[in-house]
Amino acid sequence: MRKVLVAAIAVIFGGMASLAMAQSAKEGKVQTLDELLELVRQGKIAETKEHRQREAEFLAKKNEQARLLKDAENTRTREERRSEQLENVFEENERKIGVLQQQLDDRLGSLKELFGVIQQVGGDARATFEQSIISAQYPGREESVTALIEKVSSGTKLPSIEEIEGLWYQIQREMTESGKVVSFPAEVVLPDGVRENRDVVRVGTFNLVSNGKYLQYLESQAILPS
C-alpha cells in the first residue's frame, strides 16, 4: 500500500513537472529538469514570502483591533465611573437644596404671606395699568410691577423696600391721576399709518381727546383715532 502511494505521488509530481517544463520550454525559460527544479524552488520561496507577508498583515490588523477594543473598554469604564460620581454629586446637591429651602422657609416666616399679597395686588395693578389710558401719559408702569412679581414668586430673591414702595406709589398715582384733566404730548398713529406728535387731553380715566376728536388707547401702547 505504501509503495503504491509513493508511486502515485511520484507520478503526480512527475506529471506536474512535465507540464511545468513543457509550459516553460514553450515560453523559452526552461531547457532542463535542473532548471525546472530551480524554477519550482524560486516559486516556492516567493509563495512562502507572500504568505508570510499576508500573515504579518493579518496579525498587525488583529493586534490593532485588539488595541482599539481595549481602548473602548477603558473609555466605557471611565465614563461609567464618572457617571456614578456625577449621580452622587447630584443627589448630595439635591439634599443640600432641600435643607437650605427649609431653612429659608423657616426664616421667611410671615414674610411668605406678605409676598403672596404682593403677588395678588401686583397682578391686579398690572392688569389695570395695561388697560388704563393713564398709561398713555405714563408708559412702562407695568414693567416694574412685573419685575416685582417675578422676584417675590421666585422663592429665592427678596424684594427691597424701595421696590415694594414703588408698587404702592404706582397704585396711588393711578388713583390720583384718575381725577385729573391734563394735557400732554403724545404720538398718534393715523389711519394711513403715519405717526404724528400731538397735544393730547386726558380726562381722568375716561377719554383721550386731540383736535376735537376722541382717541383710543391700545394695550400695545399705541394711540389711535376712534
Task: Kindly report, residue by residue over 118-177, the tens digit of the pLDDT.
Answer: 999 999 999 999 999 999 999 989 999 999 999 988 877 888 889 999 999 999 999 999
Average pLDDT over residues 200-208: 93
Q: What is the DSSP letter of 204?
A: T
Burial class (CB in 10 A: 0-12, 13-18, 19+), 21: buried
Whether 119 and 216 share a structural domain: yes
Provide the CB-side half-sphere exposure for 66 (13 A, CA). 6
In a domain, 184, yes or no: yes
Are residues 146 and 46 located together in one domain of the fold? Answer: no
Query: According to the model, what pLDDT value does residue 225 have?
Result: 85
Cβ neighbours of residue 131 closer than 8 Å, sequence gap 6 or more: 219
- Least confident segment among 37-41, 50-54, 136-140, 177-181: 37-41
The answer to whether residue 117 is domain-embedded is yes
Q: Is 4 a domain residue?
A: no
Tell me the average pLDDT across 100-115: 77
Whether residue 126 is found in the same domain as residue 202: yes
- Distance between CA atoms of 204 and 178, rounded to whole angstroms? 4
Residues 164 and 221 in one domain: yes
Residue 13 counted as domain residue: no
Q: What is the pTM (predicted TM-score) of this model?
A: 0.53
Residue 17: Cβ within 10 Å count? 15
- Distance from chain centroid for Cα 62: 39
- Where is the domain boundary, 84, 108, 132? 108
Tally the domains of the chain.
Answer: 2
User: Is residue 34 predicted with pLDDT exceeding 70?
Assistant: no
Would you say residue 99 has pLDDT above 50? yes
Verify that 81 and 117 share a domain, yes or no. no
Mean pLDDT of 63-79: 83
**Residue indicated by cell numbers 386731540:** 210
Residue 4's pLDDT band (cuts 50, 70, 90): very low
16, pLDDT greater than 70: no
- 120 and 96 within one domain: no
Domain that holds residue 99: 32-108
DSSP per residue, 153-186: HHSS----HHHHHHHHHHHHHHHHHTT-EEEEEE
For residues 70-87, give the mean pLDDT.
Answer: 87
Structural domain contains residue 8: no
Cα separation, 204 vs 214, whole angstroms: 14
Q: What is the DSSP letter of 114?
A: H
Task: Say whether both 72 and 126 belong to one domain.
Answer: no
The model's confidence at residue 21, banded by pLDDT at 50, 70 and 90, is very low
- What mean pLDDT value characterizes the chain? 80
136 and 208 in a common domain: yes
- What size, in residues, is the chain? 226
Give the CA distances from residue 122 to residues 69, 88, 146, 202, 205, in Å, rounded to whole numbers and listed in that order: 63, 41, 8, 25, 19
103 versus 12: which is more confidently predicted? 103
